[in-house]
Amino acid sequence: MNKMHESNHTKWNAILGDYDLAGPNCITELKPDTAWHIDHPSGQWVIAKRPIYDPGSRRVERLEAASHLMTELHRAGQLWVHAKRNKDGRYITVKDTSLYQVTSFDEGENTWNLETPEMLPDVGRAMGAYHRYQETSSFDAQLAIHDFIGMTLNGLENRRQEILTIAADRKPPIEAIDEAINRFRAITPALMTLPSGLVHMDLGSGNALFKNGRLSAIIDFEAFFAPFILDIGIAGLYWAIPFDPEMSDTRVDPGRLKTLLESYAEERSLGQDEILALKDAFVWCAIRKWSQGMGSNPHSRYDAYRCCLDLDSDWLESCFA
Report how far residue 190's alpha carbon sits from residue 200's, in angstroms, rounded to the nearest whole number. Answer: 20
Helices and strands (H, E) in the chain, number of each type: 11, 11
pLDDT tens for each residue of 282-313: 999 999 999 998 876 778 899 999 999 999 99
Please say if the pLDDT value at position 3 is more than 60: no
pLDDT of residue 106: 97
Q: What is the mean pLDDT of residues 81-103?
A: 95
User: Worst-scoring range by mean pLDDT, 160-164, 173-177, 249-253?
Assistant: 249-253
What number of other Cβ atoms are within 10 A of residue 47's Cβ?
Answer: 24
Count Cα atoms within 13 angstroms, Cβ side, for 71: 16
CA distance 293 to 184: 16
> Regarding the domain with residue range 119-318, which homologous superfamily does it belong to in the CATH classification?
Aminoglycoside phosphotransferase (APH), C-terminal lobe (3.90.1200.10)
pLDDT at residue 145 in the model: 85
φ, ψ at 280 (rounded to 5°):
-60, -35
The CATH classification of domain 6-104, taken from the options 3.30.200.20, 1.10.10.10, 3.40.50.20, 3.30.750.24: 3.30.200.20
Q: Give the pLDDT confidence score for residue 36 in this predicted structure.
A: 95
Q: Exposed/middle/buried for 265, CB within 10 Å: 0-12, 13-18, 19+?
A: middle
Average pLDDT, the chain: 92
Residue ranges of domains in the chain:
6-104, 119-318
* pLDDT digits 0-9 by tens, 26-60: 999 999 999 999 999 999 999 999 998 877 778 99
Question: Closest by alpha carbon to 228, among 132, 84, 319, 143?
Answer: 132
CB-CB neighbours of 149 under 10 Å: 14
Q: Which of 43, 25, 199, 18 is nearest to 106 (CA)?
A: 43
From residue 314, alpha-carbon distances to 8, 44, 287, 289 in Å are 58, 47, 22, 24
